Amino acid sequence: MKVTRHILLFVSLLALLLVTGAAQADNTFAVLTTAELKQLLDQGRKIMVVDARNPEEYQEVHIKNAINIPEKKFAENSGLLPTDKTQQIVFYCNGIKCGKSKKAAQKAIALGYTNIQIYAEGMPVWEEKGLPIYAGPDYEKKIETTKITPKALQALMESKADEVTVVDVRDLSEYQEGHIPGAINIPVADFAAQSHQLDKKKTIVVTCNSGGRSYNAYRKLMKLGYEKNTQAIFQDWKDQGLPVETAAN
């Protein structure tokens, strides 16, 4: 009986060790905030920052002094990693819903690198905060947005309410004074940082008074990997006499 109890105890301890080891294997890198990465760079630490996005995105804009190792071409570019496998390496891509940085980090770990972190908020938030970047020749290139008329937007919201999210990107005070019924508020100044609220499977309609701020939000959506994006003008909505919701109603 004692032997059996010892065996059961041994098996239980072994199972606990295996579970603990698996948990450690799944948590082999830390996640840095924007402030933490900035602090590391400001301190002049010996750190390699790796952009895991594709070369076209990297050439348009990237964190200053970052190198590019596209996640899908990691193996052929892994020679760019430091020879010292204990050196700190931080991977980033296009925000918390972009999986490229995590996949690249896992590949680096598989190669024996031991000091790996992820900057999950990524390029859109770094850029939004006005932190140091390299901007390529196409950085200011104008994009064409897909626009929707007020009547078409109203019909879309009535017929496919579960498939669309309207985002008012003006300041909170403007939003409270009046907005499209059902719209949520994410001011453009913090749009990338708050984009985790948005479902990539839904159509995202960004709106502001005249189009300037919603254009900037639309551009951020594209960089964050959202594909079903539309722009609407709130002034046009009001001009057509459509319902307006305020903070009071």
What CATH number does residue 210 fall under? 3.40.250.10
**Same domain as 115, residue 38:** yes
pLDDT one digit per residue (tens) for the chain, 249 residues: 444 554 544 444 344 333 333 333 344 689 999 999 999 999 988 999 999 999 999 999 999 999 999 999 999 999 999 999 999 999 999 999 999 999 999 999 999 999 999 999 999 999 999 999 999 998 988 999 999 999 999 999 999 999 999 999 999 999 999 999 999 999 999 999 999 999 999 999 999 999 999 999 999 999 999 999 999 999 999 999 999 999 866
**Same domain as 87, residue 52:** yes
**Same domain as 61, residue 119:** yes
Whether residue 141 contacts residue 59, with contact meaning beta carbons closer than 8 Å, is answered with: no
**Same domain as 232, residue 154:** yes
Last residue of a domain, one of 100, 135, 170: 135
Residue 249, pLDDT score? 62
| Cα Rg of the chain, angstroms | 23
Residue 186, pLDDT score? 97
**Same domain as 171, residue 95:** no
On whether residue 100 sits in a domain, the answer given is: yes
Whether residue 92 contacts residue 65, with contact meaning beta carbons closer than 8 Å, is answered with: no
Last residue of a domain, one of 135, 163, 185: 135
On whether residue 245 sits in a domain, the answer given is: no
Alpha carbon of residue 160 to chain centroid: 26
On whether residue 145 sits in a domain, the answer given is: no
Residue 5, pLDDT score? 52
On whether residue 3 sits in a domain, the answer given is: no
**Same domain as 156, residue 115:** no
**Same domain as 157, residue 96:** no
Last residue of a domain, one of 86, 104, 135: 135
Q: What is the domain range of residue 210?
A: 150-239
On whether residue 61 sits in a domain, the answer given is: yes
**Same domain as 235, residue 196:** yes
Model-level pTM? Answer: 0.81
* Segment holding 165, helix H or strand E: strand 164-168
Backbone φ and ψ of 30, nearest 5°: -90, 160
On whether residue 227 sits in a domain, the answer given is: yes
Residue 24, pLDDT score? 33
**158-167 per-position pLDDT tens digit:** 999 999 999 9
Residue type, 15: A
d(CA 164, CA 145): 17
Number of separate domains in the chain: 2
**Same domain as 232, residue 174:** yes
On whether residue 191 sits in a domain, the answer given is: yes
On whether residue 7 sits in a domain, the answer given is: no
